[in-house]
Chains A and B, each alone.
Chain A
Amino acid sequence: MRSEFSYSQEGRFVHGHIERVMGTRFDMVIPDIAESAARMIWDEMCSWLEHSDALLDRFNADSEVARLNAGQLDSTSEHLSEWIEMGEGYSPRTLGLFSVKTGGQLDFGGLAKGVAVRHAKELLQSRGVLNAFVDFGGSSIFGLGHHPYGPEWKVNLMDPFGGGVLKDLGLRDMAMSTSGNTPGYIGHIVNPLTGEKCLSRRLVCVLADDPVDAEVLSTAFMIASPEQKNKLSDSFSSVKVCIFDL
C-alpha cells in the first residue's frame, strides 16, 4: 500500500492520501494541526487500513476472507468474527436487505469503507481534532466539525450519467455515503433475499451520524421496495436519505 502525507506550511493543513486501498482511494485532510500530531494519526490510520484490507480483500488469495470463500479454512479468526458479527448485525435491522454473506460468499464491499471512515472519525476525535474531512473513494465521506473558512463541509452530488449537480450537501459532524449504478458499472449490488442484481439507474445518498449506518443504508435503499423504504426510515429515524432515479 502506497501512502503519501504532506504538510502545507502556508495553508497550515495536512493531507494524507492512499492511492489504492480496498479498491479505491482514501484521503484525509486536517486543517490547523501540528505536523507531528497529524503524522501519528495518519500512520495509525494507514496501518489499520492495511491490516483490514489484508484480512477482507476477497480478490487477494491470501486474505482470510478469500481463503474462507475458497473453502480452505474451517474456522474463523476472532478478528474476522467481529467483522462478520458487525455486518450480520445489520441484517435484521435492514429487513435482510443488507448482508455480508451473499450466495455463500463473504463480501465486505458494502461495509468496510464505512467502518474505515468510522475508525477515522473516532481516531481523530480521540486525539482532540475538531475539524477534518475524510473521503473514501468519493462515495464514503465524513465531515468532522467544519471547513476552516466555512460553517460546514460542503459537497455536491454529481449525476453519474452526466446530468450535472444533483444536490448540494452540508456536512457538519456528519457522514455521507452514496451507492448507485453508473454508466460503466452496473449490477454490482445484489439483493441478498432474492439474489437479484439491481440494474436500475438509481443513485442513493444517505446522511447519518454514524458512517457505518450511512454505508449500509445506501446499499439497502438501492434495492428496497416502497414498503421496505418506509420501514427502514422508521427504524433509522435520524438518517436522511435521498434517492434519485435518473
Chain B
Amino acid sequence: MKESVDLSKRMFLKTLGSIGGGIALFSTMPWLKSCTPEKLAEIGADKARVALIGCGSRGQYHLTMLRGIPHAQVVALCDPYKTNLRAASAMVPGAKLFDDYRKLLEHKDIDGVIIATPLGSHAPITLDALSSGKHVFCEKAMALTMEQCKAVYDAYTHTDRVLYFCMQRMYDPKYIEGVKKIREGLVGEVVGMRCHWFRNADWRRPVPDPSLERSINWRLYKEHSAGLMTELACHQLEVCNWTIDKMPSEIMGLGDIVYWKDGREVYDSVNVTYRYSDGRKICYESLISNKYNGMEDQILGKKGTVDLTRGVYYLEEDNEFSGIRQLLAQLRDKTFATIPAAGPSWRPELRNPYLPHPIVTGPVSVNAGQSMVAAENDGSDLILSAFCQSCITGEKAERVVEEAYCATLLCLLANMAMEEKRLIHFPDEYKIPYMKF
C-alpha cells in the first residue's frame, strides 16, 4: 500500500517535478491543479470505485495502469465480447462482470466509469453514464458525429459530474514543458504547425468469426469510426490549438484509400490543411502504408522549431552561416578570433542538419507512433490517475473537455471537407465560448 501511494505521487512529480513554474503553470494549464500530490494527500485512503466499459486492448491497458493507482479500485467490467471480458476479468479478479453497460450503470456502488469502446458508442455511453450520476472518463475522440459532440458538450455544461476525455498529451511532461516554453518565446512567433502520423500497417485485427469483422475491426467502418482523423490526428490537432490558444476557421483536405483496398470504408491517406484567421496553418498528413516519417508534432516558430513528440527544439540560428553570432560570442567571452563573415554565402536550400536541444532535462519517453494501444509515459497514466482523484474530490479538470471537443470537431470537419471536396468554414452552430478564432 505504502509503495503504491508513492507510485501515484511519482507519476505527478515525474510529469511536473522537472518542469517547475508552480502557480504560474497552473494558471496557464489549470487542468493540472486537480491532481497535485497535496490534493492526493488530502484524500487519504479513499478509493474511487471505477468500472471499465469496453475491455479491448486500450481498456486492458487502462487496467494495468489502474492497478498502480492506489486511489482506484476496479469494481466492475463490461464488454459484450466474451473473449475480452474474460481477459479483463483475469486482470481484476474481484470485479463484477456485465455484457450491457446500462445494467452496470444501475449499480449505485460505482463512482465513475472508464469508457474504452469504439468511437461510435462514446457519446451514448457517456450521456447515459452522466445521467445516471456517474463520473466519466472516456477515450478520445469525443464522438463520431458533430451532433453527438455538441450533445456531450451541452451535457457537460449542465452536469455536476466530472468528465474527462483521454487527451493524454495535456498530461505529458514533454508537451507541457514544450508548450510552456513556446509561450515564453523559445522559438519566437509561431508561424505554422506541421503534424503527421505515418505507419505501415493495415490497422486490422484477427477475427475469429467473420460475423465479428465489423465489431472487431471497427476502425475501418464508418458506422463506428471516423478513421485516421479521430484515431490519430485528434491528439495532434489538440496540441496545435493548445499551443497557440486559437482555433482554425477554415479546413480543406484530400482523403483516399491508396493502398489498403480491403473493403474498408475509411481513408488510409489524408492530407488536411487548417487555416487560422491570421493565415497560420496546420499542415496535417497521415498515411498508413509507409512509415519513414513516423509521428511528429512540430511547432514552427520564426526563430526555431519545436518537435513536441521528441521533446526537442531546433534553432534557426544554429543553422545559419553567421559571423555576427560568433563575433557577439567573442565579445561576451572577451576573446578575439577570426569570424567567417565575408563572402557571398548563398547555398542551395536543401534541408540542413539542425542541432537538437532537449526541452526537458532527464530521460524522455518518445512515442514512435507505431503502437495501436499506447506509448510509455505519454501522460495516459497521469490523466487516468487524475480522473480517479476527481471521482473522490468531485473536482473537475478544467479545459480537458473543451480541448477534446475542439480537436474532435476539427477531425470531423476535415472528413467533411475530404468527402465533399470543398473548403469548409467552421460552422457557427458548433462554436463554443471556449473557442478563439
Contact = CB atoms under 8 A, between A and B. Distances in A.
A17 B323 CA distance: 13
Contacts of A160: 343-347
Give the dominant DSSP class at A's interface: strand
Interface stretch (B77-85, B235-243, B327-335, B372-380): B327-335
A155 interface: yes
A179 interface: yes
B344 A154 contact: no
14 contacts: A11-B331, A11-B332, A27-B324, A29-B324, A135-B341, A147-B336, A149-B335, A154-B338, A156-B338, A157-B343, A158-B342, A158-B345, A168-B338, A180-B344
A183 B348 contact: yes
Contacts of B348: 183-184
B402 to A, nearest CB: 35
B124 interface: no
A157 B344 CA distance: 9
Nearest to B334: A149
Interface string A164-190: 011011000000101110111100000
B340 interface: yes
Interface of B: 321-324, 327-328, 330-332, 334-349
B223 to A, nearest CB: 53
Contact of A31 (B331, B335, B346): B331
Contact of A141 (B338, B341, B349): B341
Contacts of B328: 8, 11, 13, 15, 29
A176 to B, nearest CB: 6
Contacts of B340: 155-156, 158, 165
Nearest to A156: B338
A180 B343 contact: yes
B309 to A, nearest CB: 29
Nearest to B328: A15
Contacts of B345: 138, 158, 160, 182
A176 B323 CA distance: 14
A110 B342 CA distance: 16
Contacts of B332: 8, 10-11
Given A15-B328, A29-B328, A133-B327, A155 B342 contact: yes
A17 to B, nearest CB: 8
Nearest to B324: A27
Contact of B343 (A8, A11, A148, A178): A178
Contacts of B346: 160, 182-185
B331 A8 contact: yes
Given A8-B331, A155-B323, A179 B344 contact: yes
A133 B347 CA distance: 24
Nearest to A180: B344
A203 interface: yes
A29 B339 contact: no
Contacts of A155: 323, 338-342
Contact of B330 (A149, A168, A178, A179): A149
A56 interface: no
A158 B343 contact: yes
B322 to A, nearest CB: 8
Nearest to B329: A11
A15 B334 CA distance: 16
Given A8-B331, A133-B327, A156 B339 contact: yes
Given A8-B328, A29-B331, A138-B342, 13 more contacts: A11-B328, A138-B341, A138-B343, A141-B341, A147-B330, A154-B339, A156-B342, A160-B343, A168-B338, A169-B342, A178-B343, A184-B348, A203-B344
B338 A148 contact: no
Contact of B349 (A31, A179, A184): A184
Contacts of A147: 330, 336
Contacts of A168: 338
A13 B333 CA distance: 12
Nearest to A170: B338
A239 B348 CA distance: 32
Contacts of A150: 336
Contact of A176 (B330, B338, B342): B342
Contacts of A158: 321, 340, 342-343, 345
A69 interface: no
Contacts of A182: 344-347
A168 B340 CA distance: 9
A81 to B, nearest CB: 30
A66 B54 CA distance: 69
A7 to B, nearest CB: 12
Which 5 pairs across A and B sit closest by C-beta, in order of nearness? A150-B336, A149-B336, A154-B338, A11-B332, A155-B341
A205 B346 CA distance: 16
Nearest to B347: A184
Contacts of A176: 342
A3 interface: no
A228 interface: no
A180 B340 CA distance: 16
Contacts of B321: 138, 158
B346 to A, nearest CB: 5
Contacts of B327: 29, 133
B342 A205 contact: yes
B343 A203 contact: yes
Contacts of A141: 341-342
Contacts of A133: 327
